[in-house]
Amino acid sequence: MARPQHAGPKTAVVTGASSGIGAATARLLAAAGFHVVLGARRLDRLREVAESAGAGGTATVLALDVTDSRSVAAFCDQVGECHLLVNNAGGALGLAPVAEADEEHWRWMYDANVLGTMRMTKALLPKLVASGAGHIVNIGSIAGLEVYDNGAGYTAAKHALRAVTQTLRLEMNGMPVRVTEIDPGMVETEFSVVRFGGDEARAAQVYRGVTPLTANDVADAVVWAATRPAHVNVDQIVLLPTDQATAMRVHRADETGTDRL
């Protein structure tokens, strides 16, 4: 299929852009010349990200809750052209064994990580195809590649997201849309604070004695994949801190042995 040349800046939509990986991705994409459309529930935080991403109309801020179909529809209706969709919204709640699982936590994790990605992709896919060189980047996790104790709700959701991404790659074969999955390990953002219900002390223990990835490390991978030539599809990138070999094996400076997230 012919891929027309695009005049002017390309448009990138980033979900979950109010903090962490999403915010860092928005800033680096803007620096790379994209017009970024930022979506999240916290508009005040989005505006701060947009200001730091650049001036001169390089960023647009729109309210978005990927777990709400009406919010997704309203958001996507306001997006004009779309060349890149970064499905970053999602996260984890709790760290309990299956025997003590919180059904609402599991429901939210599946809704945000899997159904939210489906809603955004479905809504924007016509615009991505129409661009002639569209690209979908799904932010997965090492939790989509392996499992760990007490993490079944989150690992199940990220395994499902990986299946969706791989299936979409098959479905887009022959279409002018690339599909990339980026799977980071330990990244020091608000992720663990949210997971532990705002318990910052407990969240800090996740990164004790470790030099984790930063949000910019992951965002840099997003931008690299997105700026390859249109005939190059980066299927998957797995990013881990040097101190982390697997989800269950983490080297900490203050001890020796195996640890888990």
Which residues are known to be catalytic?
A: 154
Q: Whose CA is closest to 160, among 178, 136, 143?
A: 143
* 225-to-28, 35, 61, 231 alpha-carbon distances in Å: 12, 17, 24, 12
DSSP for residue 220? H
CA distance 40 to 62: 7
* CB 215, CB 24: distance < 8 Å: yes
* CB 86, CB 62: distance < 8 Å: no
Q: What does the angle CA 200 – CA 205 – CA 211 come to, to the nearest 5 degrees?
A: 110
Alpha helices in the chain (DSSP H): 20-31, 43-53, 69-77, 103-110, 116-130, 152-171, 191-195, 200-206, 215-226
